[in-house]
Copies of this chain bind each other. A is one copy, B any other.
C-alpha cells in the first residue's frame, strides 16, 4: 500500500466510526484536503484492491481487509504518539504531525519492539484506545462532561478535539487526563459549567465541556 492509500483508508475508518451509511466523497475530500474528483479516483482503486466497498454515488465503507489495515495504521500512529510524549518529552499538542509521518514506517518488528518499550500501552496521550496487534479495538466507555449528570464525578480520560489550541488551553488551566472532575452546576443560559477539579472550583464554557470525556464513577 502506498502512503496515500494508507491515508485514505485511515480517514475512511475514522469517518466510518460515527457514520452508519457509506462515507461520502465530499467528506473524504474535506478530511484529505483534496478534491472530490481525486477521491473518486482513489476510491475506485481501493475498491479494485478489495479494501473498500464502493458503489457509484453511494459512498464507501471499509471491507474487513481494509478495516484491518486501518487499525494497523491507527495503532502505529498512537504508539508513536505515546513514544513521543513518554520517551522524548514532547507535549501532547506537538505529537500529531510527527506521528502522521511515523505511522507509515513499514516494519512489524519495529512496532512490536516499540510497543514493548512503552509497556504495551492501551491508550494514547489523548486518551484514545490503541488497537492491538491482532486488530482488536474497543473504545473506552466514556461520556462527554457536558452530558454528565449534575453532582456526578468522573475521571478525565480523553479529549474529543485534540487540536493544539485546545490542548494548550487545557495545559494552561491545569486540566489533564487522569484528574477527577465533579460536575457541580450547569448554567442553562450559555451551557457553561462549574466543576470541581483538584479541590478547586472552576468555571468552564460549554465549548470546553463538550470536548472533554469522563469515565464516570459507578456509585
Contacts and interface: CB of A to CB of B under 8 A. Distances in A.
Q: Assembly of this chain: how many copies? A: 2
Contact of A89 (B90, B97, B113): B113
Contact of A114 (B88, B97, B107): B88
A59 B90 CA distance: 43
Nearest to A114: B88
A88 B113 contact: yes
Contacts of A35: none
A87 interface: yes
A37 interface: no
Contacts of A18: none
Contact of A102 (B105, B109, B113): B105
6 contacts: A84-B110, A87-B117, A88-B113, A90-B109, A94-B109, A98-B109
4 nearest interchain CB pairs? A88-B113, A98-B107, A101-B105, A98-B110
